[in-house]
Structure 1
Amino acid sequence: MLLLAVLLALAAPVTAPAAQAAEGDAPSVTLSKKEAGKGGELTVKGGGWRSEALLMLLICGRSTPERGVIGGTNSCANADGRAVTTDKRGSFSKKLPVAEPPEPCPCVVHVAAVTGEQALVDTVFAVAGHPTAPLPPPADEGRLAVLATTRLEGESSLLTWFGAPPARRLVFTVGNLGSEPVEDPVFEIGTAHGVYAPQWEERQWSGTVAPGGKAQIKLPVGLSAGAHGDYQVSLRYGTKVLAEQPWGVSRPWGVPLFWVLLCLVVPAAVFRIGMAAVDKARPRPAGPAARHAHRTRTPATQAPPTPAVLPWFTQDSAPSEKRRSAPPENRPPPTTKGQAWTRNGG
């Protein structure tokens, strides 16, 4: 027992800090190369991520670690991206092909969590031979703030009940807290479903918010066809999330109803068409109606009736009228054997 207590005492200071360090580590990413040309390959390694989390790896242009990916994933080479799942310790290692993003460099390797809590890391990477351009001036993110509660306007139509994409308008009021006017601000609308990270889309508002002034802004929000369930709509300006709004989308019950009716109506219609075709093609027997129509023909077209001949009589064997009407006195007397002998002198 004394030996066991000594072993536990020696192991406790080692294991406890290690577990605490693992829990407090921030997500990190390291690259096997800092520069490579199109068609090459680099290895991306990471640690400190959530265990068994799904990550997305992309090469993005017009991006820096300080300002993030300007323009969202539209600035990334999405077709050549890769996905990886972290292990139980939150680490991963994945090979990523080098591709040219649609926007000029500066470029980064963008690693972001697809499910669960939002987390991302951008690491500087140079695509050899890809054009470069200066970044646009940063927006004054601290000057706009949401002053009122956001809400979603709009209702579902009959087409939405049959699977059409749901659509709403996000209504919010912003105020300019700075000393300079904000012209045509660009917001980002993100929609998230369940544990998945939001998918961001840019929405530009045309107008100017004067210093100390406020403005009501309405931005369209849409989902994919057939979407249903609980969604979360987020509003972001620059890298700052200004507001979040829940959105419950009802299930499009018209879609299963349509398929049920289709499975019932189509077989019934095919059966009726088939029965009508069979009834039209089968031969018709000569019934009472056909015989009645034959009797009512005109004399010019009517054939003379043929007398029925009994099968047990023929023309020669039938008794004649003359034989039946002959008188008895004209018949010859019957001859016998005795009378014939007297007549001959016997």
Structure 2
Amino acid sequence: MRKLLLAAVALTLALAPGTAARASGLVATLSANVAKPGETVRVSGEGWTPGKLLQFVTCGEGGLTGSAACDTRSGLATPVRADGKFVVDLQIGTPPKDCPCVVHIAEVQGTTDPVNLPISITGLAVGTIPKTATAVRELAVQEVRLTGGTAAAWFGARDQLQLTYTVRNPTAVGLNSATVQVRLGGGGDDNIFHQEVVENLAPGQSRTFTVPVELPLAAFGKYVVSADVSGLAPIRVSHNAYPWGLILINAVGISLIVWGLLRRYGRRRALRDLNPADAMLPAVVRLGSLGAYLVFDDAPGSRRLRRHAGAQLSLDNLRTLIGQGNGPGAGDSVLDLDALGHVLARRYPRSISLMEEER
């Protein structure tokens, strides 16, 4: 007899054009009251509190036994528009408990009673609703903190953060078999990286969840960490990850390169009009008898001067300069050989000693 009654209820729902509910001035409607798991049903409503965040989820056992009977994976949330209306397309899930099934609509952190819209889900078993079951419809968020961070993250290394998430059960019944899910979104990715089962959260009791959060290598931009307990008490906190150390190093490196190029350009410009006669002696020495300049290696712009000269001092001219040649001017040294000997003795004492020994 009981099975026949449940079948009659399901048949009545199937024949209805849509499912509507009205409670305390709140109106909610389903576009269809029969669907398969994975199909999309439009849910619309009016008369709700503007700006309130609503949660939509497919539940078994009439939606009266709490989140343990709901398919939270297919749930979604949306805010109420300014005119008190909402329209969402909900994907019908597969509740972990038997039907009668409903689309459960509840305010997140609100005081308004939830609305359950009956729906027949093809392929799911139909059972009975436990008489003693009472749904937990609300969890209060007491604390949310995202702390931590390492100095190495300034240089593109993986960053280590910590999420502290505290919720309280303000209802008169305990919460069991709920699931905490923590997601990380950013850098084109949004995934669940932590799940934890909540058992025995008694009325008025609080529970704190401490979850390590790891940002990827070379994280750049805004990362959002979100969490909820089976769709209840959702939170979102953000963290800005920018490798300022790498940016600073690159900026300093670019500045040094630019400074070096400007300095090189300035030196070349200054040497462009350099007169060898005005160069610091003895780096450049004018030799009038030869009609040339003697350029030492440490002379400013020596490479440029030699490149413009396009020639080198011949061995015969060098001998003439030091007074050892046989041509004109032989014996008339234009160098102070004694001073040159003293300089060489100070700079290369070992070489001078060897030369004296050979003599």
- Tell me which interval the TM-score lies in, with the shorter structure as reference length: 0.3 to 0.5
Scaled by the length of structure 1, the TM-score of the pair is 0.40
Greater Cα radius of gyration, structure 1 or 2: 1
